């Protein structure tokens, strides 16, 4: 299958899930996760109409960005180290993996310095996996409130990386819990906080994630094929400090 055929299939499955859940068409946007894949393959997806791309390393994202059309929205989906923030700010549409006040403070500081506003998502470790980054669900409301007071940074919603599984139904409870958490936080009406975005679902489970309310799904393998590095376990420290 070509990239364009894969995209059609993934998009059809997103549309089916939206319909099944009684959600409006286009309520979920596909992010094509292009990490480790060459610019030529990204261009193929771009020509097929994709404008949202996800990368998990700052250097790879900024290098690809320079070579590709400027209307692409780049999503930083990996764990972000504070010492890399300065290279990312101004080059990214949305940072998905913010899970500490210290990281948010660095994003805020760099954004002020560059006179830009930066949108972020709070990463939640919905399944409580020890190997994963992300704030504990019970700590998330307090973290959101603390980050909301920082200048030049805006929380747009929540993100989670569910456990790897062959059976997507096993992850439904985590997606449902993330949605519920976003509803709970919305009720608090925190200034400078929106909960309009839910980034959840990958190649193996994006259909279930869309049924449970995902507004972004992050699909790599299902579009570009298997990766030679950075396989299923994608949330570990990608670079050394
Ligand atoms: C790599 C990655 C994905 C895509 O994973 P696939 O299983 O290839 O679809 C999604 N989200 C994050 C955070 C990733 O690192």
pLDDT tens for 174-214 read 999 999 999 999 999 999 999 999 999 999 999 999 999 99
Nearest atom, ligand 1, residue 230 CA: 1
The DSSP secondary-structure symbol of 197 reads E
Instruction: Dump pLDDT digits (tens) for 133-153.
Output: 999 999 999 999 999 999 999
Q: H or E element: which one contains 18?
A: helix 3-20
The H or E element that residue 54 is part of is strand 52-55
Q: pTM to 2 decimals?
A: 0.94
In the reported structure, the alpha carbon of residue 123 is separated from the centroid of ligand 1 by a whole-number distance in angstroms of 14
Pocket test for ligand 1, best of 158, 218, 233, 237 (most atoms within 8 A of CB): 218
CB 89 within 8 A of CB 110: yes
Q: Which atom of ligand 1 is nearest to the CA of 203?
A: 9
Residues with CB under 6 A from ligand 1: 33, 35, 56, 77-78, 161, 202-203, 218-222, 234
- Give residue 106 CA to ligand 1 midpoint distance, Å: 25
Query: Closest Cα to atom 14, ligand 1: which residue?
Result: 234
**Ligand 1 centre distance from Cα of residue 171 (Å):** 15
Give percent of the chain above pLDDT 90: 93
For a mutational test of ligand 1's pocket, the pick from 133, 178, 198, 202, i.e. the residue with the most ligand atoms closer than 8 A to its C-beta, is 202
| Maximum C-alpha span of the chain | 48
User: Which tokens belong to 71?
Assistant: 């209307």
Whether residue 230 is predicted with pLDDT greater than 70 in this model: the reply is: no
Residue 20 and residue 214: Cα distance in Å, rounded?
13
Query: Do the Cβ atoms of 104 and 84 come closer than 8 Å?
Result: no
Distances in Å between the Cα of 224 and the Cα atoms of 5, 34, 35, 160 are 11, 7, 10, 22
Q: What would the pLDDT profile of 29-82 be if each residue is shown by its tens digit?
A: 999 999 999 999 999 999 999 999 999 999 999 999 999 999 999 999 999 999
């Amino acid at each position: 299958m070509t990239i364009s055929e894969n995209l059609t299939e993934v998009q059809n499955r997103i549309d089916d899930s939206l319909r099944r859940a009684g959600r409006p068409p286009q309520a979920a946007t596909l992010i094509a996760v292009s990490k480790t894949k060459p610019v030529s393959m990204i261009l193929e997806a771009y020509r097929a109409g994709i404008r949202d791309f996800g990368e998990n390393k700052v250097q790879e994202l900024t290098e690809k960005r320079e070579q590709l059309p400027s209307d692409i929205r780049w999503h930083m989906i990996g764990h972000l180290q504070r010492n890399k923030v300065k290279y990312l700010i101004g080059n990214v549409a949305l940072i998905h993996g913010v899970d500490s006040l210290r990281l948010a403070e660095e994003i805020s500081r760099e954004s002020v310095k560059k006179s830009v506003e930066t949108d972020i998502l709070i990463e939640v470790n919905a399944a409580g996996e020890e190997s994963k980054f992300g704030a504990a669900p019970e700590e998330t409301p307090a973290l959101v409130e603390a980050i909301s007071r920082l200048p030049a940074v805006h929380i747009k919603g929540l993100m989670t990386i569910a456990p790897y599984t062959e059976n997507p139904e096993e992850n439904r409870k985590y997606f449902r819990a993330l949605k519920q958490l976003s509803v709970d936080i919305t009720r608090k009406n925190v200034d400078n906080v929106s909960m309009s975005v839910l980034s959840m679902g990958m190649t193996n489970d994006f259909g279930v994630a869309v049924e449970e309310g995902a507004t972004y799904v992050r699909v790599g393998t299902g579009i570009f094929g298997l990766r030679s590095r950075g396989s299923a376990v994608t949330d570990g420290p990608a670079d050394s400090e």
